[in-house]
A and B are shown apart, each in its own frame.
Chain A
Amino acid sequence: KQEVTQIPAALSVPEGENLVLNCSFTDSAIYNLQWFRQDPGKGLTSLLLIQSSQREQTSGRLNASLDKSSGRSTLYIAASQPGDSATYLCAVTPNFGNEKLTFGTGTRLTIIP
């Protein structure tokens, strides 16, 4: 059974700093990995999707990497802003044709102005 872990559960950093969020998964047989953002009272928004054959994906100030063999992914946020404050969740998909997402427990990020 796939298990996805995110450490730390909460993180506070001053505005402007670069930061890294971590995600680990127990079964390396994945199809893709996604990073989501969740704001209080709102649904999830997909930030980045990395296929199992890819090593990283970038969108603006966000960069996600994937090391499938070690079961790890990181989300790098450059030059953090107060608007980045949210909960960040990673999720894996098991295989092609089965898009059932297994989510981690999330990291609650607070950017201090």
Chain B
Amino acid sequence: EAGVAQSPRYKIIEKRQSVAFWCNPISGHATLYWYQQILGQGPKLLIQFQNNGVVDDSQLPKDRFSAERLKGVDSTLKIQPAKLEDSAVYLCASSRDRVTQYFGPGTRLTVL
């Protein structure tokens, strides 16, 4: 089966600009996760969806970050406006059973 797809793979923006990332999970996976991985650190969960509902967004900086999964399949993560400290790899993962998570290749964001 096809894996988790993410785009773009790389993005460079100036601070205060906006950026959006897209994730297409594995077909049939109801649970979708967005993680932020800063260089030298482990991934940190930003938001978890179950179908199109939010399960956990406690670590999402809601003043600048937003995410949606309107039809319970694809998801987008947006940052507006971006700060220097948002430079990181943004990983999307999906799960069928909420035990095993399958990760996409990530989007590497550089904020200048």
Contact = CB atoms under 8 A, between A and B. Distances in A.
B42 A4 contact: yes
A100 B105 contact: no
Interface stretch (B64-72, B75-83, B93-101): B93-101
B40 interface: yes
B25 interface: no
A44 B100 contact: no
- Chief secondary structure at chain B's binding surface: loop
A49 B100 contact: yes
B44 interface: yes
A88 to B, nearest CB: 11
B105 to A, nearest CB: 5
Among B9, B43, B95, chain A packs the most CB atoms within 10 A around the CB of: B43
B103 A104 contact: no
Interface residues of A, number: 20
Nearest to B99: A99
Contact of B43 (A41, A45, A103): A103
26 contacts: A4-B42, A32-B99, A41-B106, A42-B105, A42-B106, A43-B4, A43-B91, A43-B93, A43-B102, A43-B104, A43-B105, A43-B106, A44-B43, A44-B91, A46-B100, A89-B42, A89-B43, A91-B42, A99-B98, A99-B99, A99-B101, A100-B45, A100-B48, A101-B43, A105-B42, A106-B42
Interface of B: 4, 9, 40-45, 48, 56, 91, 93, 95, 98-106
Given A41-B9, A99-B101, 20 more contacts: A4-B42, A9-B40, A32-B99, A41-B105, A42-B105, A43-B93, A43-B103, A43-B105, A44-B43, A44-B103, A45-B103, A46-B101, A89-B43, A99-B98, A99-B99, A100-B48, A103-B43, A104-B42, A105-B42, A106-B42
